[in-house]
Structure 1
Amino acid sequence: MKKQMWKLEMFFNMTLNELQRNLERAHSVLNNIRASRSAFSVALTDTRLCIGPNREDSVVKYSSVFVNLGDGYSTDTGAFVAPRSGIYSLALTVYSDAGAPGATLAACARLRLNGRTIASPSENNLQDQEDSASAVLAVQLHAGDRVDVALPAGCFLCDNNNHYNTFTGFLLYTTD
């Protein structure tokens, strides 16, 4: 009987050790998934603000942050830096209000990857005092890639607490 109890105890200890190893692996996988989360969504401002037109292209610094999972977006630089290689969804909406019917305006911006333009939503139809445009795309980014929005010379954006100007991105899946 003692021998049988000893065998059961050994079996129990081996099973418990294996369960503990599996639990540690599951925790490691979960921590890796949590660390790989990356999502941001920002708006130009929470108050009435128009920027531009400028003589040269300038980086748009979005100051109203809805979410910044992984801290990839910087309000100081206006750039998102990809923490991991993967396929990301990026969206940009631009809006402008000339302030009066007949006034000229151009709502436009450049979505850039490492300084190279990858999308340029714009509207400059002069038929009304408001213009807006959007671009949504899936892009493969490598860890450290920098995505920002440039305001081209001659364009301007207006926003308020309705958040007409937004810049959003999130990791769909990693490609490590």
Structure 2
Amino acid sequence: MSMEFNDTREQLQKHSVDISTLKREIQELGKHKERLGGNITGIEERLNITERQLREKKAQLEYLETETKGAFTETQKLLKLYKDGLSHLNSTTQDLEDKVETRLHATKTDFGAKLKEVQNNSEALSAELKEQKAEAVKFMEETGSKFRHVDEQLKIQNTSVGQQNSDIHSLKNKYAGITNRLGSVKKTVGELKPEVDQLNARVNAKVAFSATIIESKDVFTGPQTGISKILIFNKVFTNIGNAYNSKTGLFTAPRKGVYHFSFMTFGYSTYTSGAILVKNGNYQVSTWEFKGPDSSDTTSNTVILELNHKDTVNIILWKGGKINTGVFSGFLVFPTK
């Protein structure tokens, strides 16, 4: 913009010189007019137009000069701001350089101290490694001595192992004979297994019970359940296997087998006495005693029954019969397949 301003100023000066030149020419023309005495009105008009144009250009140049000066002033302000910013930047850069220099100096000092410490540690480690190396050499020497001793012991043991192998071979022969004998024994045991199982079943099949009726206020009738007249022998003497239920009067076979049952009743002769042994609700054996001149009657019976698992056996009264007390007993003779 400064260069453009100078160029404009030069053009303005040049136009001023041209105007002065034209004025001198006009004066000379006026003088020439006077000398010539001719009519130069047309030339004067042209000169006036040219003068007006020059004045307009001069005004434009003056406006341009004013604008240029304003722009130049703004440019100078901006340059000043740039210079101030650059100065501040230089100052900040210097501060940063000082701080970095200080930091680098501290880092160098710290690094030097740490390096010295590492060197000291390295020297201590080297001394320790030398000591450990000496111990390792000593250990290797002792280990070598021990290995030589072990090698001698192994040679002695190899001789002993040879003798042991011979003994083992002999034992193997004896074991083969024992194995053959054992196979024969196993065969015999297999043949005897059914008999052994049967004996185990007989030994483990322990079922036996015996119970009586406790007299109650219902004398001559005994404990019974409803219409079925099932006698409940409610005082239990023995109940091995828990097959008899003193609440219901029922014996339930815990396994298939042959069972022995017996029962006895005691009553007075004023009523029909006796009872019936029932298997799964079906009559099996019974006792009977009519009314008579004697004061009391005793009846009894015994039966052996083959029962399946869960079969039931119990005692009931005859229709219209009454008893005072009684005993009901039974046991497993032997189980069956």
Q: State the TM-score, normalizing by the size of structure 1.
A: 0.74
Q: Is the 8 A contact 1:57 1:152 kept in 2?
A: no
Alignment length, in residue pairs? 160
Report the equivalent of 1:173: 334
Report the equivalent of 2:275: 109
Q: 1:84 to 1:39 in 2, by over 3 A?
A: same
SS, match of residue 170 in structure 2: helix
Q: What is the CA distance between 1:16 and its match in structure 2?
A: 8.3
Distance 1:14 1:65 in 2: 56
Query: What is the aligned counterpart of 2:313 among 130, 133, 147?
Result: 147
Q: Is the 8 A contact 1:72 1:83 kept in 2?
A: yes
Report the equivalent of 1:81: 252
Instruction: Kindly indicate which of the two structures has a greater share of residues assigned to strand.
Output: 1
Which one scores higher on RCO, CA 8 angstroms, separation ≥ 6? Answer: 1
Structure 1, unmatched stretches of 5+, are 99-103, 160-164
Instruction: Kindly indicate which of the two structures has a greater share of residues assigned to helix.
Output: 2
What code does the residue aligned with 1:111 have? L
Q: Which has the larger radius of gyration?
A: 2
Q: What is the CA distance between 1:65 and its match in structure 2?
A: 1.6
Distance 1:64 1:11 in 2: 62
Q: Deviations over 1:21-57 (max 9, x none)?
A: x7xx799766533442222111112xx4335289944
More off after superposition, 33-42 vs 136-145: 33-42
Matched, 1:130 2:291: no
Q: What is the CA distance between 1:85 and its match in structure 2?
A: 1.7
Q: What is the CA distance between 1:152 and its match in structure 2?
A: 2.7
SS, match of residue 138 in structure 1: strand
Distance 1:129 1:69 in 2: 37
Percent identity of equivalent pairs: 24
What code does the residue aligned with 1:70 have? G
Question: How large is the Cα RMSD of the aligned pairs?
Answer: 3.0
Q: State the TM-score, normalizing by the size of structure 2.
A: 0.41
Q: 1:152 to 1:144 in 2, by over 3 A?
A: same
